[in-house]
């Protein structure tokens, strides 16, 4: 790094060591390799957040070998602000490294008023990718996802729109998120017929949330599609934060919709039991939870959020201990199922 004479801010030069320790996993049967841990910009990157902190997180992530940054049109708050902030920081720090980055965005949830700002219509998806590229200052994204299935729009319409987005050069690959096994199989068949590179499914998966084991992972494997797991720490439950109560500044204390006190309290004994296994392994609970996911053969990458660069670095330490004994796996499985 060197100092910009006009601003006094250190200009970013990526660490020459950035590829020495990160593991990269093949994404299904594609040519894509993703870092074992990827960075999600769902929280902490909107206009309500500190952009200098966001900048430090992104710089630290890339220096540690995280090449995959994951966004969506409505990340913020407000909607669109995470993409806009990312665009500002991309231009300042990452423009020289564009070909080393794998940038994702999505559309499928509520974004703008009226009948065309949600779900999976061709009109919504085509408008959304253009808006996202403008906000981020990019010519293309590496992968564009349909964020959730649309029960009203024909799946063919949604998949053809994704296909056209690739053919227009606005995305290199396509993905889907939150689809069930049957919907995923149909989407894969349509995209195969369209000869579009469908490489990734993004799904909620953690020790506490295992719905993807309902056949989705097998469906992805059969179709040569990778899986990236989001919410790997069950919105903070799988961390050491709540082992001795609920801190006043925590998500649970604020009763955010995705983690409330009742849910946390009802799972406290399970959390403490898992933390005990993690301690015996020489890990924090969060590190063990990430390692457990990477132990699943269909998982290409684990998508983590970070409120600080230090938190990010702490979670990446999970990669130092990925092996589990059979006894540990059985114990974790029993706790996960409440046995």
Specify the CATH number for the domain of residue 101: 3.20.20.100
Kindly state the tokens that stand for 114: 């009226």
Find residue 69's DSSP bridge partners.
Answer: 39, 103
The total of other beta-carbon atoms located within 10 Å of residue 115's CB is 9
Q: E strands of 178-283, at which residues?
A: 198-204, 226-230
- Residue 3 is predicted with a pLDDT of 39
- d(CA 204, CA 213) in angstroms, rounded, equals 11
Q: Classify residue 113 by burial, with Cβ atoms within 10 Å: 0-12, 13-18, 19+.
A: exposed
- d(CA 188, CA 211) in angstroms, rounded, equals 20
- Residue 1 is predicted with a pLDDT of 38
Provide the residue range defining the domain that includes 146: 14-234+300-326
Kindly state the tokens that stand for 196: 């579009």
- d(CA 269, CA 275) in angstroms, rounded, equals 10
- Number of domains forming the structure of the chain: 1
- d(CA 231, CA 219) in angstroms, rounded, equals 21
Domain assignment present for residue 269? The answer is no
Domain assignment present for residue 224? The answer is yes
**H helices, E strands: number in the chain:** 11, 12
Domain assignment present for residue 155? The answer is yes
* Cα dist from 306 to 106, 168, 233, 236, 333, whole Å: 20, 33, 11, 11, 26
- d(CA 126, CA 107) in angstroms, rounded, equals 10
Q: For residue 105, which of 65, 67, 149, 146 has the smallest C-alpha distance?
A: 146
Domain assignment present for residue 286? The answer is no
Whether residue 253 contacts residue 247, with contact meaning beta carbons closer than 8 Å, is answered with yes
Helix, strand, or coil (residue 142): strand
Whether residue 182 contacts residue 216, with contact meaning beta carbons closer than 8 Å, is answered with no
Residue 174 sits at φ, ψ, to 5 deg, of -125, 160
Q: Which helix (H) or strand (E) holds 236?
A: none
- Residue 2 is predicted with a pLDDT of 41
Whether residue 211 contacts residue 180, with contact meaning beta carbons closer than 8 Å, is answered with no
Torsion of CA 19, 308, 266, 217, to 10 degrees: -30
- Residue 171 is predicted with a pLDDT of 99
Helix, strand, or coil (residue 187): helix
If you count them, how many residues does the chain have? Answer: 339
Q: Going residue by residue through the chain, which has 339 residues, state the pLDDT in tens, using 9 for 90 and above.
A: 343 545 556 899 999 999 999 999 999 999 999 999 999 999 999 999 999 999 999 999 999 999 999 999 999 999 999 999 999 999 999 999 999 999 999 999 999 999 999 999 999 999 999 999 999 999 999 999 999 999 999 999 999 999 999 999 999 999 999 999 999 999 999 999 999 999 999 999 999 999 999 999 999 999 999 999 999 999 999 999 989 876 666 555 555 556 678 888 889 999 999 999 999 999 999 999 999 999 999 999 999 999 999 999 999 999 999 999 999 999 999 999 887
- d(CA 269, CA 199) in angstroms, rounded, equals 38
Kindly state the tokens that stand for 124: 């919504």
Domain assignment present for residue 270? The answer is no
Whether residue 32 contacts residue 172, with contact meaning beta carbons closer than 8 Å, is answered with no
Domain assignment present for residue 176? The answer is yes
- Residue 265 is predicted with a pLDDT of 86
Q: What is the pTM of this model?
A: 0.94
**Residue-by-residue DSSP string for 18-56:** TTSS--EEE-TTSS-EEESEEEE-SSS-STTS-HHHHHH
Domain assignment present for residue 309? The answer is yes
Residue 192 sits at φ, ψ, to 5 deg, of -65, -45
Domain assignment present for residue 240? The answer is no
């Amino acid at each position: 790094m060197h100092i910009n004479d006009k601003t006094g801010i250190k200009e970013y030069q990526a660490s020459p060591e950035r590829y020495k320790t990160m593991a990269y996993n093949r994404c299904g049967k594609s040519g894509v390799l993703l870092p074992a841990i990827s960075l999600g910009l769902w929280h902490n990157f909107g206009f309500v957040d500190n952009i200098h902190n966001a900048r430090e997180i992104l710089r630290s992530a890339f220096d540690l070998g995280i090449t995959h940054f994951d966004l969506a049109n409505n990340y913020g708050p407000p909607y669109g602000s995470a993409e806009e902030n990312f665009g500002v920081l991309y231009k300042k720090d990452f423009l020289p490294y564009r070909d080393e980055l794998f940038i994702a965005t999505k559309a499928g949830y509520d974004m703008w008023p009226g009948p065309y700002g949600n779900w999976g219509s061709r009109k919504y998806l085509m408008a959304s990718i253009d808006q996202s590229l403008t906000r981020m200052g990019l010519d293309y994204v590496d992968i564009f996802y349909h964020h959730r299935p649309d029960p009203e729009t024909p799946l063919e319409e949604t998949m053809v729109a994704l296909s056209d987005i690739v053919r227009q050069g606005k995305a290199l690959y396509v993905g889907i998120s939150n689809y069930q096994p049957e919907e995923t199989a149909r989407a894969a068949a349509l995209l195969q017929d369209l000869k579009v590179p469908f490489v990734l499914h993004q799904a909620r998966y953690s020790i506490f949330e295992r719905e993807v084991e309902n056949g989705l992972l097998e469906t992805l494997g059969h179709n040569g599609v990778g899986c990236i797991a989001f919410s790997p720490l069950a919105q903070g439950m799988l961390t050491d934060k709540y082992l001795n109560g609920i801190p006043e500044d925590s998500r649970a204390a604020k009763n955010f919709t995705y983690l409330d006190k009742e849910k946390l309290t009802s799972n406290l004994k399970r959390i403490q039991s898992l933390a005990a296994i993690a301690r015996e392994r020489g890990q924090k609970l969060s590190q063990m939870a990430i390692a457990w996911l990477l132990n699943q053969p269909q998982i290409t990458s684990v998508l983590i959020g970070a409120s600080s660069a230090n938190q990010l670095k702490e979670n990446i330490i999970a990669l130092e201990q990925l092996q589990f004994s059979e006894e540990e796996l059985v114990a974790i499985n029993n706790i996960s199922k409440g046995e």
